[in-house]
């Protein structure tokens, strides 16, 4: 197995931080960043970067051969809110990119795959509090349907073809380095930007909309821990639940007020409210704890403090 890593979707919210962290661990030359667009100059200049369309199998093959890639992190996807505006396009991107990578692994052209799933795999009939690993899953968004289908295919490729594919159901991810692209949980990032810029925020989710959330550093840590765990410890080949914290717009506003006392929130729910209403309030992640020692470390106030401090510097 070669130790070269390819990240597809490296310019995105998760991809950019994952690339930086993996380069820190393995060395810049061992981590090939790729995306359909160029990311920030830091990412592009810090190591190899290739323009790559995740649905273009030939182009992926060329890069895999060129760099002798062993592991692929497939981070390219259309997120929940954007996907609702272009369902077929979202389905094609989210599924075809996954099949490209799973088939390369099946043919032993690459050895290991990471593919992100999401809390969007759950739906209105799922128990909403401390949602367990195994439960009712009837997603109602095209994004959720693509992630749930993807999970089934990951498990199939593992049991049928022995593909070493690993996955996490990410909660809403909060970060300050790269903006998110078109998710329902994005309000929890916008709120920090606008708290600093305007002192107020109009939330597209209403008070009481609890969602599972996590700080990006925790999510990156989890991803690397999962990928470094011995294969025999990975008991779940669909995707692992990953907890973290849970809050609603009111609680995040209260946390911001500890640092910006005059901060004010109001509410103008839009179509994303309907999406949020179908997702869990909080997630139970016992399996990740048992199988690869997962534990999150950022609570809401620590997230608020880190977000405000770093966005202020920007």
Minimum Å distance from CB 211 to ligand SER? 8
Instruction: Catalytic residue, from 143, 192, 201, 240: name it.
Output: 143
Among 118, 146, 209, 278, binds ligand SER (CB under 6 A): 118
Instruction: Establish if 142 lies at the interface with ligand SER (CB under 6 A).
Output: no
Neighbours of 280 (CB within 10 A): 26
Gap between the Cα atoms of 238 and 153, Å rounded:
8
Stretch that binds ligand SER, among 91-99, 181-189, 255-263, 293-301 (CB under 6 A): 181-189
215 φ/ψ angles, rounded to the nearest 5 degrees = -80, 145
Catalytic (active site) residue 143: yes
Question: Does 246 engage in binding with ligand SER (CB under 6 A)?
Answer: no
| CB of 94 or CB of 100, closer to ligand SER | 94
Of 150, 172, 243, 249, the one binding ligand SER by CB under 6 A: 172
Q: What order do you get walking across the sheet with 4-8 strand by strand?
A: 49-51, 31-35, 4-8, 69-74, 112-118, 164-170, 240-241
Binding of residue 184 to ligand SER (CB under 6 A)? yes
Q: What are phi and psi of 80, to 5 degrees?
A: -55, -50
Residue 197: which H helix or E strand, with range? helix 187-197
Q: Which two tokens stand for residue 117?
A: 């799933």
Least spacing, CB of residue 151 vs ligand SER, in Å: 13
C-alpha span between 40 and 22 (Å, rounded)? 17
User: What's the min distance (Å) between Cβ of 184 and ligand SER?
Assistant: 4
**Chain contacts with ligand SER (rule: CB under 6 A):** 79-80, 118-120, 143, 170, 172, 183-185
Active site residues per annotation: 143
């Amino acid at each position: 197995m070669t130790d070269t890593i390819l990240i597809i979707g490296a310019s995105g919210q998760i991809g950019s931080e994952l690339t930086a962290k993996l380069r820190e661990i393995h060395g810049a030359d061992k981590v090939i960043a790729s995306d359909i667009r160029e990311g920030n100059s830091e990412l592009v200049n810090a190591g190899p970067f290739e323009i790559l369309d995740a649905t273009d199998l030939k182009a992926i093959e060329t890069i895999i051969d060129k760099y002798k890639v062993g592991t692929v992190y497939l981070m390219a996807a259309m997120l929940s809110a954007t996907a609702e505006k272009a369902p077929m396009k979202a389905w094609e991107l989210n599924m075809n990119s996954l099949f490209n990578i799973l088939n390369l692994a099946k043919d032993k052209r690459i050895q290991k795959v990471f593919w992100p799933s999401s809390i969007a795999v759950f739906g209105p009939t799922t128990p909403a509090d401390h949602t367990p690993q195994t439960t009712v899953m009837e997603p109602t968004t095209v994004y959720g349907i693509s992630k749930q289908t993807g999970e089934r295919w990951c498990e199939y490729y593992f049991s049928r073809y022995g593909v070493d594919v690993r996955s996490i159901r990410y909660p809403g991810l909060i970060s300050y380095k790269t903006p998110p692209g078109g998710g329902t949980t994005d309000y929890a990032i916008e709120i920090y930007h606008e708290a600093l810029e305007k002192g107020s925020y109009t939330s597209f989710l209403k008070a009481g909309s609890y969602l599972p959330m996590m700080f990006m550093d925790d999510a990156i840590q989890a991803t690397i821990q999962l990928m470094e765990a011995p294969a025999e410890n990975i008991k779940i080949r669909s995707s692992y639940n990953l907890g973290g914290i849970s809050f609603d717009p009111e609680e995040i506003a209260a946390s911001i007020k500890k640092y910006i006392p005059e901060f004010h929130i109001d509410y103008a729910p839009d179509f994303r409210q309907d999406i949020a209403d179908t997702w869990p309030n909080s997630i139970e992640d016992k399996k990740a704890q048992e199988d690869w020692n997962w534990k999150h470390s950022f609570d809401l106030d620590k997230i608020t403090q880190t977000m405000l401090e770093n966005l202020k510097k920007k």
